Amino acid sequence: MAPKIVQAPERNAPAAPAAAPPSGRPTLSVVVAAYNEEDVLDILFARLGEVLASLGESYEIVCVNDGSRDRTAEILAVHHARDPRIRVINLARNFGKELALTAGLDATRGRAVVPLDADLQDPPELIGEFLRLWREGYDVVYAVRDARDTDSWLKRTTANAFYAMLRRVSNVDIPPNAGDFRLMDARVVEALRGIRERNRFMKGLFSWVGFRQTSVGYQRPVRAAGKTKFNYWKLWNFALDGITGYSTVPLRVATYFGLIFALLAMLYGIYLLVRTMLWGTDVPGYASTMVAVIFMGGIQLVVLGIIGEYLGRLYSEAKGRPLYIVESRLGFEPDRTGNSPEDSHGNADE
Ligand code: UDP
Ligand code: MG
């Protein structure tokens, strides 16, 4: 992925006027991943467009259609035709939010980059404040939700438990109640582009790269339209990616289990020995033997499963497949590629 840094022609472009032509380098890039968001896109562009216009900065909006099966692609194409600053990447299938976001970040050219959910749960009005803090010298300005009261009790509790645990077992400090909504300086985005791991947990990577970070509080509203793309099973798998991606503590669990049980077994052995010497043998219990066997068998399977989690991830990383496949792009120069080598048929620019 090294050649990506060579983007000289664009950087030589003359200073961008307020309404930058697609080839200029805008001040701000907004990245929107959209999966089946037909209900919300019009509202999104209306509100986002208004906010961005009021900021008076040159900007681009990079939309990643994550293999939607509804009219998302058509709607995005219409918006691109209306405003060339809205650029579109259509992925070849659904790759999941983390990879869709990666595809978007890879394609941005702005001096500052803001990922934003399509459903307006990340209020674009905050971008002005982001920019102000960025100009003060912060490289990352992330939004922290004041309360999670728009989430269900279960989601809130499990999310809190997960982040508390992640902070304990990993050495990346992921701020609690922060999402992907943030502003990142181009330097940070460049650093993120260099990270090509597949099982990614963007929030973790955002913290992992470091740089000068600060936060802004906000109230997270409910979805403007449409419905959530995440269920508890997806979130659970997401959590596993989070833990395995940033910590190897679970792999050590087996060691401690082993030590504890070896110690207990030794003590129990001594007790049996002494008892037999003093009082002779009695008929040994079937129940206690079974419990010990089943219990140890269970623990061994759990530990194997943990090893399997890491092994499976190792396997998928080792294959080194591209992170995502681009089906077509709107509003990009033909020679510019994100991750796939060729964009032969889809460049419907003109
Ligand atoms: N998303 C995506 N690919 C997916 C799932 C979600 O690009 O496979 C996008 C979705 O379109 C939205 C954002 O990720 O812009 C957040 O999704 P959602 O609002 O459903 O998540 P929630 O806010 O409920 O956690
Ligand atoms: Mg949402």
Residue 135: which CATH number? Answer: 3.90.550.10
Ligand 1, atom 3, residue with closest C-alpha: 97
Averaged over 140-162, what is the pLDDT?
80
User: The tokens of 203 are what?
Assistant: 């929030």
324 lines ligand 1 (CB under 6 A): no
Same domain, 312 and 228: no
Taking 70 as the threshold, does the pLDDT of residue 149 lie above it? no
Ligand 1, atom 14, residue with closest C-alpha: 97
**Ligand in closest contact with the CA of 151:** 1
For residues 107 and 185, give the distance between their C-alpha atoms in angstroms, rounded to a whole number.
14
Give the range with max mean pLDDT: 228-232, 297-301, 308-312.
308-312
- Residue bearing the bigger pLDDT, 282 or 145: 145
100 lines ligand 1 (CB under 6 A): yes
SS (H, E, C) 121-186: CCCHHHHHHHHHHHHCCCCEEEEEECCCCCCCHHHHHHHHHHHHHHHHHCCCCCCCCEEEEEEEEH
**Ligand in closest contact with the CA of 227:** 1
Q: Is residue 20 part of a domain?
A: no
Q: Is residue 219 part of a domain?
A: yes
**Tally of structural domains, the chain:** 2
Best residue among 229, 235, 238 to mutate for probing ligand 1's pocket (most ligand atoms within 8 Å of CB) is 229
Taking 60 as the threshold, does the pLDDT of residue 213 lie above it? yes
**For residue 334, what pLDDT is reported?**
64
User: The tokens of 340 are what?
Assistant: 């796939």
Give all strands (DSSP E) within 14-151, no chain letters: 28-34, 59-65, 86-91, 112-117, 140-145
* pLDDT tens digit sequence for 26-42: 999 999 999 999 989 99
**For residue 90, what pLDDT is reported?**
95
User: The tokens of 23 are what?
Assistant: 């080839």
- Residue bearing the bigger pLDDT, 259 or 287: 259
Same domain, 224 and 290: no
- Helix and strand element counts for the chain (H, E): 11, 8
Q: CA neighbours within 13 Å on the CB side: how many for 282?
A: 6
Averaged over 17-33, what is the pLDDT?
73
Q: Is residue 231 part of a domain?
A: yes
Lowest mean pLDDT among 52-61, 183-192, 195-204, 282-291: 282-291
Distance 230 CA to ligand 2 centre (A): 9
* pLDDT tens digit sequence for 265-276: 888 888 888 888
Q: Is residue 310 part of a domain?
A: yes
**For residue 130, what pLDDT is reported?**
93
Best residue among 39, 48, 61, 97 to mutate for probing ligand 1's pocket (most ligand atoms within 8 Å of CB) is 97
Taking 70 as the threshold, does the pLDDT of residue 75 lie above it? yes
Same domain, 267 and 128: no
Same domain, 181 and 229: yes
For residues 222 and 131, give the distance between their C-alpha atoms in angstroms, rounded to a whole number.
24
Taking 70 as the threshold, does the pLDDT of residue 61 lie above it? yes
Q: Is residue 15 part of a domain?
A: no
- Residue bearing the bigger pLDDT, 348 or 111: 111
Taking 70 as the threshold, does the pLDDT of residue 56 lie above it? yes
For residue 216, give Cα distances in angstroms to 24, 113, 132, 189: 30, 16, 11, 20
Q: Is residue 2 part of a domain?
A: no
Q: Is residue 14 part of a domain?
A: no
**For residue 16, what pLDDT is reported?**
41
Distance 119 CA to ligand 2 centre (A): 6
**Shortest-distance atom of ligand 1 to CA 35:** 11
Crossing angle of helices 232-246 and 153-169, rounded to 10°: 10
Residue 76: CB partners within 8 Å, gap ≥ 6?
A: 34, 41, 63, 65, 86, 88, 90, 330
SS3 4: helix
**For residue 284, what pLDDT is reported?**
67
**For residue 315, what pLDDT is reported?**
87
Same domain, 121 and 213: yes
**Shortest-distance atom of ligand 1 to CA 95:** 8
What is the β-pairing status of strands 59-65 and 86-91? parallel
Averaged over 229-246, what is the pLDDT?
80
Taking 60 as the threshold, does the pLDDT of residue 3 lie above it? no
Averaged over 245-255, what is the pLDDT?
80
Q: Is residue 21 part of a domain?
A: no
Taking 50 as the threshold, does the pLDDT of residue 335 lie above it? no
- Residue bearing the bigger pLDDT, 341 or 107: 107
Same domain, 127 and 172: yes
Same domain, 65 and 160: yes
16 lines ligand 1 (CB under 6 A): no
Taking 80 as the threshold, does the pLDDT of residue 217 lie above it? yes
* Percentage of the residues of the chain whose pLDDT score is greater than 70: 87
Radius of gyration of the chain (CA): 26
**For residue 111, what pLDDT is reported?**
93
155 lines ligand 1 (CB under 6 A): no
What's at 132, amino acid-wise?
Answer: R
Same domain, 152 and 283: no
Ligand 1, atom 13, residue with closest C-alpha: 117
For residues 323 and 71, give the distance between their C-alpha atoms in angstroms, rounded to a whole number.
24
**Shortest-distance atom of ligand 1 to CA 36:** 11
**For residue 41, what pLDDT is reported?**
92
For residues 215 and 175, give the distance between their C-alpha atoms in angstroms, rounded to a whole number.
9
228 lines ligand 1 (CB under 6 A): yes
Best residue among 117, 122, 156, 228 to mutate for probing ligand 1's pocket (most ligand atoms within 8 Å of CB) is 117
Averaged over 73-99, what is the pLDDT?
93
What's at 306, amino acid-wise?
Answer: I
Q: Provide the greatest CA pair distance for the chain.
A: 96
**For residue 317, what pLDDT is reported?**
84
**For residue 283, what pLDDT is reported?**
67
**For residue 148, what pLDDT is reported?**
64
208 lines ligand 1 (CB under 6 A): no
The DSSP secondary-structure symbol of 320 reads: -
Taking 50 as the threshold, does the pLDDT of residue 244 lie above it? yes
98 lines ligand 1 (CB under 6 A): no
Could you tell me the pLDDT band of residue 341, with boundaries at 50, 70 and 90?
very low
pTM over 0.75: no
Domain that holds residue 154: 28-246+322-348
Same domain, 283 and 150: no
